[in-house]
Every structure is written in C-alpha cells, then in structure tokens.
Amino acid sequence: MKNIEIFEESKKYMPGGVNSPVRSYKDVEITPPIMKKGIGAYIYDEEGNRYIDFVGAWGPMILGHCDEDVVKAIKDTCEISIAFGAPTELELKLAKYMCTTLDNFEMVRMVNSGTEATMSAVRLARGYTKKDKLLKFAGCYHGHYEGFLVSAGSGVLTEGIPGSAGIPQENIKNTLVGQYNNVENIREVFNEYGEELAAVIIEPVAGNMGVIKAEDVFMEELRRLCDKYGTLLIFDEVMSGFRVSYMGAQSLFKVKPDLITYAKIMGGGLPCGAYGGKKEIMEKLSPLGPVYQAGTMSGNPVVMAAGLAALTKLHDNPKLYEHIEALGTKLKQGLETIAKEKSIPLVVNRCGGMMTMFFSDRDKVSCYDDVMSCDTKLFKRFFTHMLNSGFNLPPSQYEAMFLSVKHSYEDIEKFLEAFRSFEY
C-alpha cells in the first residue's frame, strides 16, 4: 500500500492514525511517510523512499538504526527469555552498569517509559520530603503524567493546548510553572512556596521546546534554593542522558541532582525508563519503604539486554561521541553560514548530538519566550523542502533533531546542500 493509503486506513482504527500525536505531522500539514525499515542513518518508507534520518526515534537511535550489537543482544535474549515478572541477572547487570558508570546514581528502579520514570521520581520525592508541591518550567516536557501537563513542551507546545482536557484542576493544583533560565523568577517561587516544595524537575538541557541549555547561574541558584528549603532536584535526562555525552547533561554543570530520570537511549530502542539517585532516597521505595511503584514489564529481560548492549558500546567507545561532536560542529557552522548568505533568520542551538534550528530573528534563543518568537510558517516551508529532498526531520519547530554515530560527513554535506537550495 502507498503511504497515504496506509495512513488513511490507520485513521479508521487509531485516533489521528497514530499512537503518539507528533507523528501525525498535523503541525506541518503533510501526510507522514509510513516507515518500514531502518539501517544505520537511513530509513525507508513503504513506498521505498529513502530518508537520511535526523529524528532517530526521537533520540534512542544514537547508534543508528538496527545496530548490530543491539540486534544481537535482543535476538540472543529472546531465544531463551521474553518475560518472567521475576528477578533476572540481566536486570542486575544493567542496574549495576548504570550505577557504576554514571555519577550521582547509586540505586535505580527500572520502568517502561520516560513518563513512568519522571512521574515515579516525583512521587518518590513527595514521599521522601513529605511535601506536595512540584516546580516545573515552561517549555519543559516530562511525559504525559497529569501533574506535568501544564505549560509543557513537545506535542503539547506544538498543539497549543494549555494542558490537556481530562485533567481535573485538583490534580494540577500542586504544580507550579517557573521560567527557564530566569533566576529572579525561581527566587520568587521559592520565597513564596519553598516550604511546600517537594521537588523541582528540569531538563538541564531542554529538548522539548527545541534545544536550550540551562545557564550555569540558573542551575546553581536552583541547587542553592533546593538545599535551603529541603526540596529535591530532579534532572530529567530522558532525552539528554547518553545523548549530549555518555554522562549526559549533568556533566555540563557543577551542581548535582538528587534524582535522575532516564529513558530513550538507555533501552537501545525498546520501551524503557529508569529513575535513580541517592540510595537514602531510593530506599524509600516499596518494598523497602512506603512509596509504592510497580510494573509487570519493568526490567524486562529483552529490554535490559538491548539497553546494556547500547550503553556498553557508547561507554566503551568515546570516539563515537567525538564523531557526533565533529558532525554537529560542521552542521551548525554550515547552517549559520548559509543562513547569513541567504538572510534567513536562524539561531542554531546544539548540545552534543541534539540540535534545533530556530527560525527566529533574535540574537539567541535561551528561554520559552524566545522560542515563541519563531516563524513557524517558515519552519513549515523548510520542513517540507527537506522532506522532499530526502531528510527525515522532526515535524515541529519545537523539537530537537538528533545525530547518530552512523551519520557521515557526506550526510552533513547533503543536509547543507539541501538547506542552500531552500527558496527562502
């Protein structure tokens, strides 16, 4: 069947034809290609069209599609074990690997998605501090848990939904929304609510309003305020973990988190998530402590094996990150040069293997307000041009694009060529 036929049929059985809203390409008003196959940096749709992929399943495919080591780990494991709902040595292996190779990560609980990781981390923080309020930042996305769907990023930003229907006011009354990179703002929030704040959750390198790195002074002030008021600081590294470097965003700052959440890359492309941090806090989780959280599929052997294969490869081969860094530098510089030549208003933010091209005439994009200044009509034309030129990019101005270790210099040159031929 053709892409459009499959998509039309899909709409009959799945709302909007998709299982996650951003995939519908609603924002760019195009029928999405229906993907069939992925090898390395390339993906192929049902009509056999090839795309150089800069979405990478929204981050997880940092090793490229169907990496041989990850595929082997999956195949070998599922020959003998698919699920037990019982302890396995494989989950110990991944847990131990994460706790010994990552900073500030003494104990971990495996879950099945980023949403589960962040929502459980917040519950744990509330149970540990015996306080209720949560501070998140406008433009940051932490999954679709009710308490987060207030001024969220990602699909929620794209769709311009203030939050979501179906969320009782009561369930978000403990969520406060702060301004990213605004020191004055967080001082005010803590001044007023510090005593009631259980946790602050932040993407230290935001990716869900496009890529924006938090400023050092902002992070340092956050840590200081959290310490002062007995509030836990949660780094949501679901996207940035193993992405901006193996150590993730936390390695870019002097401040340490109390809890960290991971997902995306850590499952090697299979559904997964994890949250962890200080032992003293993690021991409040059931069955040791009073905070309940469970999962039939949590720590699934096939997922653990895929995750372990991916993380081991990334950890043992620093050259992979160097390659991504070199490609990223070349791409950003090239895009900036071309934009200048063609007088296209463009700000490129990049952090390791994640990058956003903001079509904005501001000098820099460093907060949610800057992001909102972007020319989404221009983005839409750019996106369509790139798709037609064989590039799979995130179909929204407010998302990050991702590099993989399988991208080549030639792929980057092709990207630049395509951008050069964009009729602005």
Ligand X SMILES: *Cc1c(COP(=O)(O)O)cnc(C)c1O
Please, which residue, 259 or 339, has the CB nearer to ligand X?
A: 259
Please, which residue, 255 or 338, has the CB nearer to ligand X?
A: 255
User: Measured between alpha carbons, how far is 325 from 316 in angstroms, rounded to an integer?
Assistant: 17
Please, which residue, 115 or 158, has the CB nearer to ligand X?
A: 115
Please, which residue, 190 or 402, has the CB nearer to ligand X?
A: 402
Residue with tokens 């972007």: 374
User: Measured between alpha carbons, how far is 186 from 208 in angstroms, rounded to an integer?
Assistant: 20
Give how far the C-alpha of residue 209 lies from the chain's centroid of Cα atoms, to the nearest Å: 11
Catalytic residue numbers read 141, 236, 264
User: Measured between alpha carbons, how far is 399 from 393 in angstroms, rounded to an integer?
Assistant: 9
Look up residue 159 and give its two tokens: 């769709």
Q: Minimum distance between the CB of residue 271 and ligand X, rounded to whole angstroms?
A: 7
Residue least distant from ligand X (Cβ): 114
Task: Tell the burial category of 110 from Cβ atoms under 10 Å away from its Cβ (0-12, 13-18, 19+).
Answer: buried
**73 contacts 268 by C-beta, under 8 angstroms:** yes
Q: Minimum distance between the CB of residue 343 and ligand X, rounded to whole angstroms?
A: 33
Look up residue 93 and give its two tokens: 């292996």
**293 contacts 133 by C-beta, under 8 angstroms:** no
Task: Assign 3-state DSSP to the chain and report helix, strand, coil percentages, each to 5.
Answer: 45, 15, 40
Q: Minimum distance between the CB of residue 408 and ligand X, rounded to whole angstroms?
A: 26
Please, which residue, 143 or 178, has the CB nearer to ligand X?
A: 143
Positions in the binding site for ligand X (CB under 6 A): 113-115, 118, 141-143, 203, 207-208, 236, 238-239, 263
Q: What is the 3-state secondary structure (H, E, C) of 305-320?
A: HHHHHHHHHHHHCHHH
Q: Minimum distance between the CB of residue 245 and ligand X, rounded to whole angstroms?
A: 16
Q: Minimum distance between the CB of residue 55 and ligand X, rounded to whole angstroms?
A: 12
